[in-house]
Amino acid sequence: MTNIIRENDIKKKRLMRMLSAVMTLLVCMSVLWNGTAANATTQPTVPDSMQPMELGPLMIQTSYNLYLDIWRGEVGDGNKLTLWQNSGGDNQKWKLAVASDGTFQIKSVLNPAYCVDYVWWYDASQAKNRKVTAIKFCSGTANSQKFFIQPTGNSVPGEWDKFVIRSVEADTDCLDVKGGNFSNGEWALIYGCHNPVTENQRWLLVPTGGLGDISSTLRRLADFRALKMYDDSSPRVPSITYTSSTTPQTILSPFKPVSDMTWNGTTSTTDYTINWSTALTSQSTFGVSQSTKITLGTGKDSPVNFQIEQTVGTNWSWMSSTQTSTGGSYKMTIKPSTGGWMIRSQLVNQITGKFTISNDLGTTWTTEEMTSTIPLTDGANNQSSVLVACTTDSTDSKCQNNRPPL
């Protein structure tokens, strides 16, 4: 059995009672879904986020072919890092442990229990204390072990592959070659970022060990972190603008299950009330493959979201800008030894475009194209979302392709 229900019709026929849904809309990239059999409930606001990942092994290279190196290859808490020519050793290889906020730890391949951090060192020649990079036991909470990247500009050939590596603990600090001295054995520092960026703070993240090209992934990582920082009103990203490459289209997203399966284990045909709920979040994806998804913004109050909204040109009253979930219940007749569940297709606006981002170091860059989908409330362009009641004996492909587990 398949029963297709237009959600506006549900309201008219009173077959569905809309439940409380008071969440703030989040802008992320192609619609995220979280279907359960529970009624829609208030939940904490979901922050800007991306998919965590581990990226590597890679080498961290200066413009003069020197590499971030564990001094003497000695693994120990607080052991300093230097710059050295390519030795091919694991003491020059690293992995980026990327968190959902776009920051990352730099883990040693030689011993993954150690991450890049710093120790204080007194520089007698300058009569000042300096932060010299070092390896320390990895800590999930130490901001001194968390970093993010920003491009150094895309106006010069090859510059897309170079980044500043900025500290989370003090985001005005960058990974730096001490004194701009590109010589074997020189220290790598955590030092104040230069504006404009200088060569001793430009770094290449070079894949090794058969990793393949990671340039696109690194750019997306930099793009997401910058957009998130703009949303968080960080002075490190004072400006973004959005340019669309397509006109917005109102479409129905692919069907997704929005309830658990209810099984009739009796010998009689029985009426059941199926509770359903789904998260309403805008989502964007990078590139044609749409493999990298990120969540950006908190509804109409999000600066990033506002940039898209200006281009979409859709009045916010048509957008689900005051909630992140919706749900209800539906009375379904289910035969013996048969299961029933609900699937749903959300009405959305879809648009493709790019952001141009400027940071506090005088660098401006443009993201790859992103396809964004923004959930709409019923009635936008005289259309509505579609809710479908499914049973296990249905031959409808929409139902069979979206079956929840028993």
Q: According to DSSP H, which parts of 101-203 are helical?
A: none
197 is a domain residue: yes
Q: Are residues 95 and 221 in the same domain?
A: yes
What are the backbone dihedrals phi and psi of residue 375, each rounded to the nearest 5 degrees, phi first? -60, 140
Whose tokens are 């060569």? That residue is 199
345 is a domain residue: yes
H or E element, residue 60: strand 53-61
Q: What is the pLDDT, as a whole number, of residue 375?
A: 82
Q: Are residues 350 and 212 in the same domain?
A: no
Whose tokens are 């929005």? That residue is 258
Round to whole Å and give the CA distance between 51 and 342: 27
CA 324-314-293 angle, to 5 degrees, is 50
Residues 165-210: tens digit of each pLDDT: 999 999 999 999 999 999 999 999 999 999 999 999 999 999 998 8
Closest CA to 351 of 292, 393, 308, 317: 308
Q: Domain residues for 61? A: 53-231
Among 203, 231, 259, give the residue marking a domain's end. Answer: 231
Q: Are residues 254 and 328 in the same domain?
A: yes
Q: Are residues 347 and 201 in the same domain?
A: no
72 is a domain residue: yes
CB neighbours of residue 313 within 10 Å:
11
406 is a domain residue: no
Q: Which token pair is 212? A: 């393949």
Q: Are residues 200 and 67 in the same domain?
A: yes
Whose tokens are 């990239």? That residue is 29
- Mean pLDDT, consecutive 10-residue stretches, the chain (406 aa), reads 60 34 25 26 46 92 94 89 95 96 96 97 81 95 97 66 95 96 95 96 92 87 91 92 87 94 96 91 60 53 62 48 72 96 92 92 91 81 92 95 90
Q: Are residues 263 and 386 in the same domain?
A: yes
Q: Are residues 14 and 123 in the same domain?
A: no
Name, in order, each residue with C-beta under 8 angstroms of 36's C-beta and a sequence gap of 6 or more: 258, 259, 260, 277
Q: What is the pLDDT, as a whole number, of residue 24?
A: 23
Round to whole Å and give the CA distance between 40 and 21: 6
Q: What is the pLDDT, as a whole number, of residue 313?
A: 55
Round to whole Å and give the CA distance between 117 and 123: 18
Closest CA to 171 of 358, 364, 361: 361
Q: Give how many domains the chain has, as a whole number.
A: 2
Whether omega before 196 lies within 30 degrees of 0, making that bond cis, reads yes
> What secondary structure letter does DSSP report for 187?
B
Among 209, 231, 253, give the residue marking a domain's end. Answer: 231
Cα-only R_g, the chain: 26
Instruction: Tell me the C-alpha to C-alpha distance, in Å, between residue 323 and each of 30, 298, 319, 370.
Output: 17, 10, 10, 23
Q: What is the pLDDT, as a whole number, of residue 266?
A: 96
Are 283 and 29 spatial neighbours (Cβ–Cβ below 8 Å)? yes
Pairing of strands 338-345, 325-334: unpaired
Q: What is the pLDDT, as a whole number, of residue 43?
A: 30
- Give the alpha-carbon dihedral of 98, 241, 313, 216, to 10 degrees: -40
Residues 279-320: tens digit of each pLDDT: 777 777 765 443 455 656 544 456 666 666 566 554 434 444
Are 104 and 115 spatial neighbours (Cβ–Cβ below 8 Å)? no
Round to whole Å and give the CA distance between 298 and 288: 25
> Is residue 368 helix, strand or coil?
coil
405 is a domain residue: no
Q: What is the pLDDT, as a whole number, of residue 73?
A: 85
Instruction: Tell me the C-alpha to C-alpha distance, in Å, between residue 356 and each of 240, 243, 274, 381.
Output: 5, 8, 46, 30
* CATH of residue 163: 2.80.10.50
Q: What is the pLDDT, as a whole number, of residue 349?
A: 84
Q: According to DSSP H, which parts of 313-405 are helical?
A: 397-400
317 is a domain residue: yes
Q: Are residues 199 and 221 in the same domain?
A: yes
Q: Are residues 176 and 42 in the same domain?
A: no
181 is a domain residue: yes
327 is a domain residue: yes
Q: Which token pair is 168? A: 């989370």
Round to whole Å and give the CA distance between 323 and 321: 6
Residues 144-177: tens digit of each pLDDT: 999 999 999 754 566 668 999 999 999 999 999 9
Where does residue 73 fall: left (phi above 0), alpha (psi -120 to 50 degrees), or beta otherwise?
Answer: left
pTM: 0.76
Q: Are residues 189 and 149 in the same domain?
A: yes
Among 176, 203, 231, give the residue marking a domain's end. Answer: 231
Are 180 and 186 spatial neighbours (Cβ–Cβ below 8 Å)? no
Q: Are residues 112 and 26 in the same domain?
A: no
Q: Are residues 334 and 348 in the same domain?
A: yes
